[in-house]
């Protein structure tokens, strides 16, 4: 039985595996999935530290692996600059965004709807257009209150596998990997951010929770944009399944 079928206790692995064992496990998960899904395995890259970590790991497995970036009109200029450099270096990274008109300050009045339109819609399109059967994410179970119950391999949408190869990594281990492998990171981290998103919804905080600076002052505080929780496969009628 391969690692893709593992039923291991994720919370136990967070504290029992050492740094090297975690890297090896992540690489094995990506290798097995790439062997199974080939070019229909695609990496989601949000341009945060976990994404550049997973992108680097995937490229170590096979340099042909493709990726997609979901961007919005509200991303900070530093993130846009970082994105442009990443795409110039890796043309196999495709950018998706939704430019449809939305009400002013929707991120304040209805952030769930705003994320649905600006983030979830383009990711559905990315999955459709890039013919994705397995998408790889940099999700980690120690990031915050909303991320404790994910698995390394999931099928939330029928026919779409989600692989979370660094699910058991701690924040420190991500930085350790990036430093040891010389991976460039979004310059916003140097300003004190720990979790990056759209400018109106992301702040620097001194809270323990890594995602505490996201959507402060709304019902979504420290929560999710919906990419990891909403259906992503498009039916012929345009709805999720």
Residue 201 is among the residues annotated as catalytic for this protein: no
Give the shortest CB-51-to-ligand SF4 separation in angstroms.
15
Nearest to ligand SF4 of 16, 109 (CB atom): 109
Count of Cβ atoms closer than 10 Å to residue 133 Cβ: 17
3-state secondary structure of 115: helix
The rounded distance, in Å, linking the Cα atoms of 163 and 138 is 9
The rounded distance, in Å, linking the Cα atoms of 108 and 123 is 22
Nearest to ligand SF4 of 34, 215 (CB atom): 215
Question: What is the spatial order of strands in the sheet that 93-96 belongs to?
Answer: 93-96, 66-70, 41-44, 134-136, 160-163, 153-157
Residues that bind ligand SF4 (CB under 6 A): 72, 74, 107, 111, 114-115, 118-119, 197-198, 200-201, 225
Give the shortest CB-191-to-ligand SF4 separation in angstroms.
18
Give the shortest CB-111-to-ligand SF4 separation in angstroms.
4
Residue nearest to ligand SF4 (CB): 198
The rounded distance, in Å, linking the Cα atoms of 211 and 213 is 5
Nearest to ligand SF4 of 26, 71 (CB atom): 71
Active site residues: 225
């Amino acid at each position: 039985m391969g690692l893709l079928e593992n039923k291991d206790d994720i919370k136990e692995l967070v504290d029992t595996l050492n740094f090297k064992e975690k890297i090896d496990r992540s690489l094995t998960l990506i290798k097995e999935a790439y062997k199974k899904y080939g070019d229909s395995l695609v990496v989601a890259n949000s341009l945060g530290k976990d994404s550049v970590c997973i992108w680097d790991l995937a490229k170590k497995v096979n340099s042909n692996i493709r990726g997609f970036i979901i961007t919005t009109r509200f991303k900070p200029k530093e993130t846009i600059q970082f994105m442009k450099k990443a795409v110039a270096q890796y043309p196999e990274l495709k950018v998706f965004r939704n430019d449809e008109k939305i009400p002013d300050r929707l991120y304040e009045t209805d952030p769930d709807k705003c994320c649905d339109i600006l983030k979830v819609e383009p990711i559905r399109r990315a999955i459709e257009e890039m013919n994705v059967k397995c998408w790889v994410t940099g999700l980690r179970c120690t990031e915050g209150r909303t991320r404790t119950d994910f698995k390394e391999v999931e099928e939330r949408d029928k026919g779409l596998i989600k692989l979370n190869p660094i699910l058991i990594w701690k924040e420190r281990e991500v930085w350790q990997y990036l430093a040891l492998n010389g991976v460039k990171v979004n310059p916003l981290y140097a300003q004190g951010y720990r979790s990056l998103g759209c400018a109106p919804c992301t702040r620097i905080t001194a809270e323990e929770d890594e995602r505490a600076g996201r959507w402060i002052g709304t019902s979504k505080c420290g929560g999710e944009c919906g990419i990891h929780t909403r259906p992503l496969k498009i039916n012929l009628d345009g709805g999720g399944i």
